[in-house]
Amino acid sequence: MFRKPKRKLYSLIFVLPTFAAFIIGFIYPFISGVYLSFCKFKTTSDAKFVGLDNYVKAFHDEGFLRSFWFTALFVVVSVILINLIAFFVAYALTLGIRGSNIFRTVFFMPNLIGGIILGYIWQLIFNGILQNYGTNLALDARFGFWGLIILMCWQQAGYMMIIYIAGFQSVPADLYEAARIDGADKKQVLTNVTIPMMMPSITICSFLTLTNSFKLFDQNLALTGGAPGVVSDSGSMIYQTQMMALNIYNTFYANQNSRGVGQSKAVIFFVIVVVIALAQLYLTRKKEVQQ
């Protein structure tokens, strides 16, 4: 009779440390972060409530709007490219060619290098090439954009490849056998057997690439730092390859009045990422099939 409630009590006690850590490490910073977005502050302990002021300023910031569209374009291109590359590399490496384990390791390795270092290394490579044509990453936004895309593909494709390989290996062999007996050709097998069975992997990979690309910061900072810029009529510099995270960071440290604005941009950013990521999860989940 007493056993059940007692057990519940115990479980509560055991959950407590994790729960406390969750509150301290996530819930509290999140709530205070949202609160600070409505404040003018220098350090977080002397915040002064100013209402929606920061949000108004954030939406009137030309550079922020520009960074949103730049980020959106970057996300679309990089999600498609990274997933296509990763999918086909994984496909090739599950065909049983010799040395595929070595290739897997090689493709995965870029992931282990930090973003800032990668950014500087690729900056040297790109600038080394562009120098021959008398130009530079910092001088043309197109180079900055494609540079970022190449860098991200190179870094992320290997990681996604590992997930896709696991997906390929989890497709039961009897399905392929049945398809072959039914007379399906290679293309039909891919579109009607492999891809539907791989939807969970596609879901997770597109989710990861989407959020990673949206939140990209260090590679952006190291590769272009936002350059080049266009001078607006007000004399402020509108950076052409600045993504949202970098814009928020720069806003936060711009001057003594800008911290709250940076914070409100961060909240807007959070909402955008959540909405897009959830929509994407919903759409790809719908396509998943039960085995």
- Here's the x/- map for other proteins, 19-58, by CB under 8 A: it reads as -----------------------xxxxx------------
What residue type is assigned to position 30 of the chain?
F
Using CB under 8 A as the binding rule, whether residue 132 contacts other proteins is answered as: no
Nearest distance, CB of residue 155 and other proteins, angstroms? 21
Choice from 185, 231, 289, 291 touching other proteins (CB under 8 A) = 231
Choice from 83, 203, 212, 250 touching other proteins (CB under 8 A) = 250
Using CB under 8 A as the binding rule, whether residue 138 contacts other proteins is answered as: yes
Using CB under 8 A as the binding rule, whether residue 127 contacts other proteins is answered as: yes
Using CB under 8 A as the binding rule, whether residue 170 contacts other proteins is answered as: no
- C-alpha distance from residue 26 to each of 31, 32, 41, 194, 217 (Å): 9, 10, 21, 39, 21
Using CB under 8 A as the binding rule, whether residue 236 contacts other proteins is answered as: yes
Using CB under 8 A as the binding rule, whether residue 258 contacts other proteins is answered as: yes
Using CB under 8 A as the binding rule, whether residue 134 contacts other proteins is answered as: yes
- C-alpha distance from residue 43 to each of 30, 68, 166 (Å): 16, 27, 47
Using CB under 8 A as the binding rule, whether residue 218 contacts other proteins is answered as: no
Nearest distance, CB of residue 129 and other proteins, angstroms? 12
Scanning 1-9, 127-135, 170-178, 276-284 for contacts with other proteins by CB under 8 A, the matching segment is: 127-135
> Within a 13 Å sphere around the CA of 147, how many CA atoms are in the beta-carbon half?
33
Binding site for other proteins (CB under 8 A): 42-46, 123, 127, 131, 134-140, 225, 227-229, 231, 233-237, 239, 250, 253-258
